[in-house]
Amino acid sequence: MLPSPYDHPLTTMPSEDRKDLGIFYPIMGHMCHMPVVEVDVETGKIKFLDYVAVHDCGTIVNPMTLVGHVRGGTAQGIGSAIYEEYKYADDGQLLNANFADYILPSVNEVPPNVRVGHVVTPSPFTEYGIKGGGEGGRMGAIASAIEDALKPFRVKADFLPLTPAKLRGPNSSSDGESVALPEWREFRAGHPFARRKHVAVLAGPTGSRDG
């Protein structure tokens, strides 16, 4: 957690008559995401066993809408962390320009009940003390959980998306994009760690003028 808010050098404050609301370059969420994941070492498939998201959205105007916003943002983060990427041929042609090839998470991949919590710290810089909700924190938390689950195999989750094809080994992926390490490939069949589950906690930054 940062000890004080971060002010981007190009950020401007709203004018006194409120005709100009200012420019807020960094939009940082105030949150803590806690995914619990299980990784099948044989296939590279990632399953969410539980997911908790706690956000500080300032003054809550519509609790039901806010919960939906946080859950929707979490689903979007799961897509960015595990499934979604643009693939190009050597000549620059986009290879996955439709939803048959560009993979999005469905209801089967998203946790059925993302548990949402709130911390209410009204912003002194906005009307009614409101802040944004549902932004940030998801991809890093998911990557940390996957890396933590695969710690015995020394897999470094420092890239996105963490697709099963990239995780399960070069011999099982036609595109050769795997980053799985030999230690994992040697152990994955019949090893006691063949299925791993773990939790990772990522506290979101406390930046921006929103307090």
Domains: count for the chain:
1
| Closest listed residue to residue 48, CA positions, set 9, 106, 103 | 106
The answer to whether residue 150 is domain-embedded is yes
What is the C-alpha to C-alpha distance for residues 50 and 38, in angstroms, rounded to an integer? 10
Question: pTM of the full predicted structure?
Answer: 0.71
The answer to whether residue 117 is domain-embedded is yes
Domain limits for position 109:
30-198
The answer to whether residue 203 is domain-embedded is no
The answer to whether residue 58 is domain-embedded is yes
pLDDT > 70 fraction of the chain, expressed in percent and rounded: 69
Distances in Å between the alpha carbon of 125 and those of 13, 15, 209? 9, 12, 7
The answer to whether residue 5 is domain-embedded is no
The answer to whether residue 162 is domain-embedded is yes
Write out pLDDT tens, residues 48-104.
999 999 999 899 999 999 999 999 999 999 999 999 999 999 999 999 999 999 999
Write out pLDDT tens, residues 151-195.
888 888 888 999 988 887 544 334 444 444 444 444 444 444 445
The answer to whether residue 207 is domain-embedded is no
* Neighbouring C-alpha atoms within 13 Å toward the C-beta of 21: 6
CATH of residue 130? 3.30.365.10
The answer to whether residue 204 is domain-embedded is no
